[in-house]
Structure 1
Amino acid sequence: MDKHILKELRRILGPDSLLTSWEDRACYSYDATGQSFLPDAAAMPETAEQVAAILRLANEHRFPVIPRGAGSGVTGGALPVARGLVITFSRMNRILEIDAANMIAVVEPGLITGELQAALKKRGLMYPPDPASLKFCSIGGNAAECAGGPSAVKYGVTRDYIIGLEAVLPSGEIIKTGVRTEKGVVGYDLTRLLIGSEGTLAVFTKLILRLLPLTESKATFLLTFPDLAEATKLVAEILSAGLLPCTLEYMDRTAIAAVRDRLKQPLPDGTAALLLVEFDGSKEEVHQQAARFAKFVAEKGNCVLRQAADEQKTAELWLARRSISPAVLSLRPHKIAEDVVVPRSKIPDLVAFTERLAVELKLLILTFGHAGDGNIHVNIMLDKSDPDEHRNGLEAKERLFRFVLSLGGTLSGEHGIGITKSAFLPLEIDPASLQLMRRLKQLFDPNGILNPGKVFPKFSASSC
């Protein structure tokens, strides 16, 4: 990016909205992977028209453009691996509309997910997707990765609540997709195509969200188990029994140890695993589900059941759960964080495999996550400065992926592919489907300027 390009960007954005100092650029060089790539500059647009002008300039001069949410991704999806210009949406962070009568909201991509949920709660409404990083992740980033969260077992994931988009194509054209209504089948479903495309096909500038009425009541339970297999086996049995929790979370012994100081309540000696189970709905529905659940657990025997007494105790439990990912770095300096998904009935097989893998490769491997929908987070802890440990960690990752696919699972439930999983895409996607995806990328972005190097290694710095 030469002086002419930077001058044009300042003209488009204004002098205070283009960051070129080393210190400023360093702030947009990394994400939660721990990897870092310094961009040439960072832009802070305020309108869709500015985004469009940036992309037209990028197409003309063939420099990479990398859309970035809050930088909380763990697969490198927002890393500027080919340098270029990072677009940050910190100034496009408004709630533009809350239409309570039709239960929709229109928001900008830089809006923090937790801030949206807090604003809707005051109106008696809810936006169900709730990634663990909701206090700092953005709606645009959630949409790019199709984020999930603990509530996905009952309510679904981000793509289930985005019904329309305003987006800018790599050519600089502004398009509007989807509807503001409950139904709409006119033309191809471009909204669903763009959600989860990891910033490789278009840049989001507005999102139309489907909302739900805020639930009246909740009941939260903590189950502790002396046996890991018993905990994982119970997951499928809970749902097969006709119980419908809004969250069903799982933590193994090592994950528990990492956040024990945040639990603020003693656990039974010898606790090997726990389940965090929550029901929501009307007071009557929650009372009935809670009573049925307590009876169901009592008949199982080999666990201890506690119900959170009040909102404070519930908040303490969720603080512990949402703190796992950063807390585990107290165990080892680095981690390989994977978010594989298997059929719920196969969770015991997956967890048993990770235990065997840890012993065989002399690694610390922990498991936790959204057991209700089979989305288990597997963290392979290691010290990258130890060559043997680093090599064993990478071997564990590949063997994990192959085992997950053998169970009928998938390599990612919510983190996406980015750069950390792209080499493994052919393990899951057949050649014809991969070729179709590449053709779609070529159709949307013939010059390869938009988020190059992600998902498909073909679209790397050398192609820009």
Structure 2
Amino acid sequence: MPTSETTGAATLEARLPAGRVLTAQASLAGYLHDEGEWAVYGDPRAVVRPESTQEVAEVVRWCAETGTPLVARGAGTGLSGAANAIEGCVVVSFERMNAVLEVNAAERWARVQPGVVNDDLRAQVAQHGLWYPPDPASSPWSTIGGNVATNAGGMCGVKYGVTRDYVLELEVVTGTGEITRLGTRTAKGVAGYNLVGLIVGSEGTLAVVTEVVVRLRPLPPAPITVAGMFDSLVDAGRAVALVAESGISPSALELVDRHCLKAVDDWKHMGLSTDANAVLIGRTDARGEQGEFEAAELARCFEEAGASVAAVSADEQESEALYAARRLAYPALERLGPVLTEDVCVPRAKVPDVLARIEQIAAAHDVLIANIAHAGDGNLHPLIITEPGDEAAKARAHAAFTEIIDAALAAGGTVSGEHGVGTLKLDGLAKELPPASLALHHAVKHALDPHGILNPGRAIPPLP
């Protein structure tokens, strides 16, 4: 006898072309959760793989009519649980809406579907001499829709900003199933509220994004890389503060500690040195004399902060290996055991203090914390690593996770610089937001999603 769940899924299937809806348990397994370690998830009623905006709207309308939660999903590379299935929900996967629809080289924008992989977009626009700057470490796998959902940043964020700075226009399906467009492709436009900025970073809780128009820039010149080796994490943090004070604009300033370098080298055998406790990788893509000046300033700041080595790399292969190691750090550490990933962002002047506090927290809770960071904009990613199946270590990791958030907030920072809140940081955001601000968040949510079906329980904490 059919259950209410299967009957409901059948009525959804009847409203869509054949093959769009998955209900078999084995077919759903790959859509249950993202990469956020220990973030809660449930069993979906169905997974839908739409091929058009109209099909997405049909799913949203069905969910509104039946009171079924809807979770939009990109590649599942998120680290906060925002894309995790909710019990009895419909997961909408954008894997089939993955086309670059148009590139306008004259106006410097591209129109894409949400399932387009970040690096694939970059490769296509590079053929026109153009560049899409936001570059999360997951760029070989993460999608533009997911980047929009979390307002992803990346290694170039210190100079070029984050996803919100590059989204000109969105096509969305509202919580009532209506299709509309937000924003403008013109170089300037201030008519009406900035609804594009509101949707970017909302983690699928306010609307379902079905098309994105992104701003492009000319391809930058090849960068100059400056590497600094430090005996202590705190000294590397001091170098970050000095770079901020110097007034230069590096195109990247990344921190990788010894644990990360060793994990990458053990995995990929890249010949990386692990003699230093922390490495800063600075880059400048300024041209000519300005580039030479900025590279010299990076080296000066590194030396003044106590770097044992601070040098402009004359070996392009070596500098690319260091940069690649930064991108590979998270998947390399995942091989060691479950990784609980932080994403706090603090004022750059506070980076050394917060790094010192992270070391204290690791010692106090007897947990291994490896550190990577988009150090140039104060976005720290302490990675708490535990042994598989060690429940006591898991409890200590969660305690450390909470204390790191508290340390960031005490330093004037925020709980998330780019990964989003999801479910893992709801308690932290409740501490960060004043009561009136939290009430505004809920008012906006109700206005755009009156049925409460869009990714409920994520991104904003409940009202007290």
TM-score range, shorter chain: over 0.9
Q: Secondary structure at the match of 1:13?
A: coil
Letter in 2 for 1:419: T
Amino acid paired to 2:126 = K
2:222 aligned residue (217, 225, 228): 217
- Indicate how the Cα distance of structure 1 residues 384 and 362 shifts in structure 2: closer, same or farther if over 3 A, else same: same
- For 1:72, the aligned partner's letter is T
Any gaps of 5 or more consecutive residues in structure 2? none
Counterparts of 1:400-411 in structure 2, within 5 Å, are 400-411=404-415
Q: Deviations over 1:131-162 (max 9, x none)?
A: 00000000000000000101100000000000
Separation in structure 1 between the aligned mates of residue 272 and residue 340 of structure 2, nearest angstrom: 30
State whether residues 74 and 93 of structure 2, in contact with CA within 8 Å, keep that contact through their aligned partners in structure 1.
yes
Q: Is the 8 A contact 1:216 1:283 kept in 2?
A: no
What residue identity is the alignment partner of 1:275? Answer: L
For residues 416-431 of structure 1, what are the structure 2 equivalents within 5 Å? 416-431=420-435
Amino acid at match of 1:117: R
**Residue in 2 aligned with 1:33?**
36
Aligned to 2:387: 383
User: Is 1:160 the equivalent of 2:165?
Assistant: yes
In 2: Cα distance, 1:170 partner to 1:137 partner: 24
CA contact (8 A) 1:235 1:372 kept: yes
Is 1:363 matched with 2:367?
Answer: yes
> Residues 59 and 368 of structure 1: is their aligned pair in 2 closer, same or farther, counting only changes over 3 Å?
same
Q: 1:339 touches 1:411 (CA, 8 Å); kept in 2? A: yes
1:163–1:209 CA contact under 8 A, matched in 2: yes
- With over 3 angstroms needed to count, the CA separation of the structure-2 counterparts of 1:118 and 1:310, relative to structure 1, is farther
Alignment of 1:448 with 2:449, yes or no, is no
1:119 aligns with 2:124: yes
Other structure's SS at 2:72 match:
strand
| Distance change (3 Å), C-alpha of 1:240 and 1:204 | same
Query: Hey, what's the Cα distance between the residues in 2 that align with 1:259 and 1:415?
Result: 22
SS at match of 1:339: coil
The one-letter code of the counterpart of 1:140 is: G
Match of 1:267 in 2: 273
Aligned equivalents of 2:375 and 2:190: distance in 1? 33
**Aligned-partner Cα distance in 1 for 2:186–2:197:** 15
The Cα of 1:263 is off from its aligned counterpart by: 7.3
Equivalent in the alignment of 2:48: 43
Deviation at 1:307, TM superposition (A): 3.7
Shift of 1:400: 1.4
**Equivalent runs, 1:390-401 vs 2, <5 Å:** 390-401=394-405
Asked if the contact 1:39/1:86 (under 8 Å) is kept, the reply is yes
Counterparts of 2:32 and 2:214, CA distance in 1:
30
Matched, 1:439 2:443: yes
Which residue is equivalent to 1:319? Answer: 324
2:135 and 2:155 in contact (8 A); partners too: yes
Structural mapping, 1:41-440, within 5 Å? 41-261=46-266, 262=268, 264-267=270-273, 269=275, 271-294=276-299, 297=302, 302-309=307-314, 311-331=316-336, 333-383=337-387, 385-440=389-444
Measured after TM superposition, the shift of residue 217 of structure 1 is: 2.6
- C-alpha distance in structure 2 between counterparts of 1:268 and 1:388, whole Å: 30
Report Cα offsets for 1:284-330 as digits up to 9, x if no partner.
54334334444555666642134444554343222211111121134
CA distance in 2 between counterparts of 1:65 and 1:409 reads 31
The 8 Å contact of residues 82 and 452 in structure 1, kept in 2 or not, is answered as no
Q: Assess if the C-alpha contact under 8 Å between 1:92 and 1:108 holds in 2.
A: yes
Letter in 2 for 1:110: G
CA deviations over 1:400-448 (Å, ceiling 9, x no partner) = 1111111111111001111111122221001111011111111111221
User: Relative to structure 1, is the Cα distance of residues 268 and 90 closer, same or farther in structure 2, using a 3 angstrom cutoff?
Assistant: closer
Partner of 1:17: 20
Tell me: CA distance 1:178–1:289, structure 2 relative to 1, closer, same or farther (3 Å): same
Partner amino acid for 1:78?
A
Name the count of aligned residue pairs: 457
CA distance in 1, matches of 2:412, 2:133: 27
Query: Secondary structure in 2 aligned to 1:281?
Result: coil
Aligned to 1:462: none
- Residues 56-80 of structure 1 deviation map (CA, whole Å, 9 limit, x = unaligned): 1111111111100110011100111
Aligned amino acid, residue 142 of structure 2? C
**After superposition, what is the alpha-carbon deviation per residue over 1:373-407, rounded to whole angstroms, capped at 9, x for unaligned?**
00000112223633332222221122111111111
Between the aligned partners of 2:229 and 2:262, the Cα distance in structure 1 is 13
> 1:38: how far off?
2.3
> What letter is aligned with 2:404?
L
> Contact (CA 8 Å) 1:251, 1:367: kept in 2 or not?
yes
Paired residues of 1:217 and 1:282 also in contact (CA < 8 A): no
Q: Is residue 261–residue 274 contact of structure 2 (8 Å, CA) maintained in 1?
A: no
Per the alignment, residue 7 of structure 1 pairs with 10
Does the 8 A contact of 2:236 with 2:302 survive in 1? no
TM-score by structure 1 length?
Answer: 0.93
Partner deviation per Cα, 1:142-199 (whole Å, 9 max, x = no partner): 0000001011000000000001100000100011110001211111110001000000
Q: Is the 8 A contact 1:32 1:71 kept in 2?
A: yes
CA distance in structure 1 between the partners assigned to 2:461 and 2:135 by the alignment? 30
After alignment, is 287-296 or 69-78 more displaced?
287-296
Specify whether residues 22 and 266 from structure 1 end up closer, same or farther in structure 2 by C-alpha distance, changes over 3 A only. Answer: closer
Match of 2:262, SS?
Answer: helix
Q: What per-residue deviation string (whole Å, max 9, x for no partner) do you get for residues 29-65 of structure 1?
A: 1210245532111111111111111111111111111
Opposite residue 127 of structure 1, the aligned amino acid is Y
TM-score, L = length of structure 2: 0.93
Distance 1:392 1:275, change over 3 A: same
Q: Distance in 1 between matches of 2:67 and 2:424?
A: 25
Q: Distance in 2 between matches of 1:452 and 1:177?
A: 23
Q: Which moved more, 1:353-362 or 1:367-376?
A: 353-362
